[in-house]
Amino acid sequence: MAELTEDQTLIVETARAFAQERLRPNAARWEHEGLDRGVLQELAGLGFAGIYVREDVGGSGLSRLDAALIFEELSRGCIATAAFMSIHNMCAWMIDSFASPEQRQAWLPQLTAGEKIASYCLTEPGSGSDAAGLRTTAKADGNAHYVINGSKAFISGAGFSDLYVLMCRTGEDGPKGVSTVLVEAGTKGLSFGKQEDKMGWRAQPTAIVNFEDCRVPADNRIGPEGEGFKYAMKGLDGGRLNIAACALGGAQDALDRALAYVKERRQFGKRIADFQNTQFQLADMETDLAASRALLHQAARKLDAKTPDATKFCAMAKRFVTDTAFRVADQALQLHGGYGYLADYEVERIVRDLRVHRILEGTNEIMRVIVSRDILKA
């Protein structure tokens, strides 16, 4: 973690201390009990609920690189909690960036304080990677309201969150007909499917979100009609960095656990750490994570600087870091031998949690499409 400023070093230390004291000891328990709202509020108290939201509404006004540092550290404690906070941050950023001054003042102080938690609703049962094909509609009912119909799938925080940042169709087919509307929990016609039984991220609730003649004030639309797809795509660059950072932190935790284990465990009269095969494996894992961190930080700096190649670098980082992190965590499990397969050692939870990072915020196949499209047009 070279070249960090004094402030960034302090941010890392704060996030690391919280992760080790409050998240890591509870991560296994939360798999069964679910997210702890109190802990999310504690994270908000540290300024981690509006990391790159402007300060006039309670945000921390930090950079994308700062966010990557924070989410890596938090994930060393609990990947599912850290990733959930990253989604809340993306929602807050979207409102901060594209909402009117009145909307910013109405929503953001509550979101940055952790009094309200937000979920992001883009994916549908029939459109995952093809986000522009979404079919949930918001039809104008006079000038004052929209009536929303449709459903969203795989929504983190469904039934738990207080606010849903919804991408819906207000116009023609394709990306130009998509708008962004805020839907509050408790709105008539808003309902949730059963909690999905997932391989990983089990601490956070995931379900289908249904809209059935759901009436929402037109004042809840963010920006003009037809701009929503643009907002969603702009949000994905940062979202990809956050998901990569969460994967990196989880893999680092797995490596830390493996290091401790191989120093203690003895086979054939010596420590597992004393076998050259183990040493080579550990060296590769450490190198792979260092390379991942370097690419992630480079991509974050590019996004902060708004360079023309930022989107390509965010896609490259997301693809490389999430693939690498999953492989490193799997190797950490292997180094534990049979014990790695047991829940008590917690490495199997990390492996399960990290698997989905290669799918969400755009699958890693879609990342390859973005990168190849960029280099072939040159």
The helix/strand/coil state of 180 is strand
Would you state the structure tokens that stand for residue 62, as one six-digit string? 């930090």
C-alpha distances out from residue 5 to 12, 46, 69, 296, Å: 11, 19, 12, 17
Task: Indicate the helix (H) or strand (E) that contains 270.
Answer: strand 270-271
Please give the positions annotated as active site: 361
Would you state the structure tokens that stand for residue 162, as one six-digit string? 């207080």
Would you state the structure tokens that stand for residue 308, as one six-digit string? 């023309």
Burial class (CB in 10 A: 0-12, 13-18, 19+), 377: exposed
Q: How far apart are CA 132 and CA 176, in angstroms?
A: 9
Residue 255 near residue 328, CB atoms below 8 Å: yes
C-alpha distances out from residue 223 to 21, 172, 231, 301, Å: 41, 17, 9, 27
